[in-house]
Homo-oligomer: A and B are copies of this chain.
């Protein structure tokens, strides 16, 4: 650790479990690396806070998208979330098994399935969202500040539409 710890230099080192401080070198200034580190920390907090719901971030996102777009096709949901097909099928199998979501033949494309929440899924998602907002998202807002969260979402939106 450097003796003159400024805000910037604090981010250049990363402590690991055995007390060693690992220098990040050029990584500390790269957007992609910083995004990944933040995402891992935020997902970890999500998983811990949502333990009683046995809900991973991707499962939550799928339920939320289905609720906001009932009847959407499987392929549209997986594309909107950037989840690859194989992982998405397994994820959906689990949500069906837990009786939270269901597949039904798509009215306008017989080769494709349309997705819906079950009544149980609707109730589960409402409760999960409430818990998420008060336990997880509020914690992030404390860390970022209200203005900081707004700035962050705007900047992330710019990156998401990079393509």
Contacts and interface: CB of A to CB of B under 8 A. Distances in A.
Contact of A69 (B23, B69, B161): B23
A22 B69 contact: yes
Copies in the complex: 2
Contact of A82 (B40, B82, B132, B151): B40
Nearest to A20: B76
Interface string A76-115: 1101101000000000000000000000000000000000
A139 B14 CA distance: 26
Given A57-B36, A160-B34, A163-B44, A24 B68 contact: yes
A81 B153 CA distance: 24
A18 interface: yes
Contacts of A159: 38, 41-42, 140, 143-144
A41 B163 contact: yes
The 3 closest A-B pairs by CB, nearest first: A25-B68, A38-B159, A22-B80
